[in-house]
């Protein structure tokens, strides 16, 4: 059976107040609240998640969503949990002030995103899609659409979806065939089929707002001809059903309680969002929000798997530990300890990188860090979701044969995690974005900016009189050198794009792994600033040392792979 969920409040308290050398919550909020206030918010979310959402996770996995007579029905308890989520104010809290929400800063939303996903990833996807649509409509919608739809999304009365994929149009959005025809009254008639629509239908909210990419008559070919429309499930005012039908729901490997729908739009009434043929601009606002959310989902699912593995390892008695009598728990065996540290050190790196990305976007308008934030979006999404595959697998390994038995519950995390490297853009799509739009396009300038920031941390660690700091500084120095060489090799492929894109995933994984080491380096610098060190400080020192010897060395191997280009 799945273990109870314990939110990582202490880690977030450290990240908000110390890890980055300043109170990032106070800076993000303009002094409206402090790291202590942010920690209190995260703790409150953790209590809600542990008490309301986590108990439904295994229920959702066993029962799943079901389609009956054209209507999707959720497992018992999900509608009540959603109402509680809304009434507790979590929807309004996370929505931006410009959309009518409370506008919690990105650093706090990073913590909430992890917690919602760790406690119940399938449930969390509903809010993730609604949050993305809120950002998209806030950026591009007319006053009328804002008043009619955005206010209902921010209140939580309605939920939102993202409709891109069609049977013939997956990653190639230019192949979309859904057509939107003007009706003469300002509305449009939308017809076509969309697949893989997350939370495309359900019975937990009054209405569903579909954000749909479609092309208009005589539109330019390809992606340039796409426009964006809001299409409600029920007509506003009358409450009558719009021309949107749930044809089927997919039977999936994981996230069973997240209804993945095939939707048929048959002369459904929709309304244009933003400029005609400007659909991709609006949709990518939502997509970027979702991609960042995937990084947080990866951290959450990985941590839930780790917590279950650590709990099992602390209770399961098996075999002898070298030099001791029989009767040891498996957590005392060297290799199980290695597995647990392997998991926990990567999870901290993922968690810290999520907060760091949130901080960059919080500061984007004030000091121009927006470009740096955009640089880390594909890294967070791609690297964190790939690492989550390994972490959830290691959680099964800790359980031994019991991990392969569904009743244990740990297999659910492995199954739920598998989709994360695929949806909202595969790892290859993330890496192509990173290499093509963010490295080659600016000649590696932003990458060098990142390396320069890591150099500053190396200098700080080098000035600390402690062997652990010296070791971490030297490991980071060699890793940054390797990353610079890999970046130079990538830039050398500018006239040979196949070489560049053939190694884009290794390059993304290199930067993610390096960023993880940097996050541990920053933590180490903060810890050594304490006059007296606590048990938590000692654990952070151990974590930095472990990451530096077990994970950071992969940077060097990946750098060689990048330099080789495409295999002949």
Q: Which residues contact 529 (CB under 8 A, 6 or more apart)?
A: 18
Q: Which residues contact 87 (CB under 8 A, 6 or more apart)?
A: none
Tokens of 277: 């043929």
- Contact between residue 492 and residue 562 where contact means Cβ atoms under 8 Å apart: no
E strand intervals along 403-525 = none
448 is catalytic: no
Q: Which residues contact 224 (CB under 8 A, 6 or more apart)?
A: 277
**Nearest to 216, CA basis, from 207, 206, 224, 226:** 226
CA pair distance 170, 193, nearest whole angstrom: 13
Supply angle C-alpha 528, 481, 24, rounded to 5.
40
The alpha carbon of residue 48 and the mean position of all alpha carbons in its chain are separated, in whole angstroms, by: 20
What is the SS3 assignment for 214-232? EECCCCCCHHHHEEEEEEE
E strand intervals along 66-178 = 66-68, 71-73, 158-163
Q: Which residues contact 350 (CB under 8 A, 6 or more apart)?
A: 295, 298, 299, 302, 380, 383, 384, 387, 388, 516
262 has which bridge partners? 248
Cα 340 to Cα 327, 343, 348, 522, 527, distances in angstroms: 20, 5, 12, 22, 22
- On the 0-12 / 13-18 / 19+ scale of CB atoms within 10 A, 234 is middle
CA pair distance 141, 143, nearest whole angstrom: 7
Q: Which residues contact 447 (CB under 8 A, 6 or more apart)?
A: 375, 438, 439, 483, 487, 511
8-state DSSP, 2: P
CA pair distance 559, 474, nearest whole angstrom: 17
- Contact between residue 384 and residue 348 where contact means Cβ atoms under 8 Å apart: no
C-alpha Rg value of the chain to the nearest Å = 24
- Contact between residue 501 and residue 562 where contact means Cβ atoms under 8 Å apart: no
Tokens 């079901």 correspond to: 66
Catalytic residue among 57, 114, 394, 424: 424
What are the φ and ψ backbone dihedral angles of 4, each rounded to 5 degrees? -65, 155
- Contact between residue 152 and residue 158 where contact means Cβ atoms under 8 Å apart: yes
- Contact between residue 219 and residue 227 where contact means Cβ atoms under 8 Å apart: yes
CA pair distance 159, 336, nearest whole angstrom: 43
Concatenated DSSP letters of 44-65: HHHHHIIIIIHHHHHHHHHH--
Q: Which residues are catalytic?
A: 424
């Amino acid at each position: 059976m799945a273990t109870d969920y314990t939110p990582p409040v202490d880690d977030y308290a450290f990240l908000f107040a110390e890890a980055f050398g300043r109170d990032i919550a106070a800076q993000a909020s303009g002094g409206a609240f402090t790291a202590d206030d942010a920690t209190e918010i995260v703790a409150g979310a953790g209590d809600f998640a542990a008490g309301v959402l986590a108990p439904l996770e295994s229920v959702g996995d066993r029962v799943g969503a079901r389609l009956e007579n054209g209507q999707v029905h959720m497992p018992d308890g999900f509608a009540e949990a959603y109402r509680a989520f809304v009434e507790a104010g979590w929807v309004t809290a996370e929505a931006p002030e410009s959309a009518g929400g409370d506008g919690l800063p990105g650093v706090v939303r990073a913590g909430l995103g992890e917690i919602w996903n760790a406690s119940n990833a399938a449930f969390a996807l509903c809010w993730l899609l609604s949050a993305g649509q809120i950002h998209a409509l806030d950026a591009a919608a007319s006053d009328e659409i804002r008043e009619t739809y955005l206010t209902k999304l921010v209140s939580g009365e309605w939920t939102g979806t993202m409709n891109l994929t069609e049977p013939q149009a997956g990653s190639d959005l230019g192949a979309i065939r859904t057509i939107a025809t003007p009706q003469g009254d300002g509305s449009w008639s939308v017809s076509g089929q969309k697949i893989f629509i997350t939370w495309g239908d359900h019975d937990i909210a009054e209405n569903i707002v579909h954000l749909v990419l479609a092309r208009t008559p005589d539109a330019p070919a390809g992606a340039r001809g796409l426009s964006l429309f809001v299409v409600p499930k029920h007509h506003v005012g009358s409450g009558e059903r719009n021309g949107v039908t749930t044809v089927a729901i997919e039977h999936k490997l994981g996230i069973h309680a997240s209804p993945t729908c095939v939707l048929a739009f048959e002369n459904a009434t929709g309304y244009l969002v933003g400029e005609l043929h400007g659909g991709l601009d609006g949709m990518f606002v939502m997509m970027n929000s979702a991609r960042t959310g995937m990084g947080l989902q990866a951290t959450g699912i990985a941590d839930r798997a780790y917590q279950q593995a650590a709990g099992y390892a602390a209770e399961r008695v098996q075999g002898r530990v070298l030099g001791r009598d029989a009767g040891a728990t498996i957590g005392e065996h060297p290799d199980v300890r290695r597995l647990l540290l392997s998991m926990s050190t990567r999870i901290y790196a993922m968690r810290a990188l999520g907060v760091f990305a949130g901080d960059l976007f919080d500061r984007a308008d004030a000091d121009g860090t927006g470009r740096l934030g955009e640089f880390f979006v594909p890294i967070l999404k791609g690297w964190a979701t790939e690492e989550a595959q390994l972490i959830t697998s290691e959680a099964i390994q800790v359980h031994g044969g019991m991990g392969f038995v569904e009743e244990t519950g740990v297999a659910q995390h492995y199954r739920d995690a598998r989709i994360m490297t695929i949806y909202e853009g595969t790892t290859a799509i993330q890496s192509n974005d990173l290499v093509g739009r963010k490295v080659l396009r600016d000649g590696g300038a932003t990458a060098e900016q990142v390396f320069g920031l890591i150099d500053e941390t190396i200098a700080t660690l080098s000035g600390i009189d402690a062997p652990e700091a010296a070791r971490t500084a030297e490991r980071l120095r060699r890793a940054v050198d390797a990353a610079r060489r890999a970046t130079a090799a990538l830039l050398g492929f500018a006239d040979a794009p196949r070489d560049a894109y053939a190694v884009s995933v290794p390059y993304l994984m290199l930067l993610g792994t390096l960023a993880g080491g940097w996050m541990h380096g920053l933590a180490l610098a903060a810890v050594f600033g304490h006059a007296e060190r606590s048990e938590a400080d000692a654990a952070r020192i151990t974590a930095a040392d472990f990451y530096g010897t077990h994970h950071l060395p992969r940077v060097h191997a990946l750098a060689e792979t990048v330099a080789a280009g495409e295999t002949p």
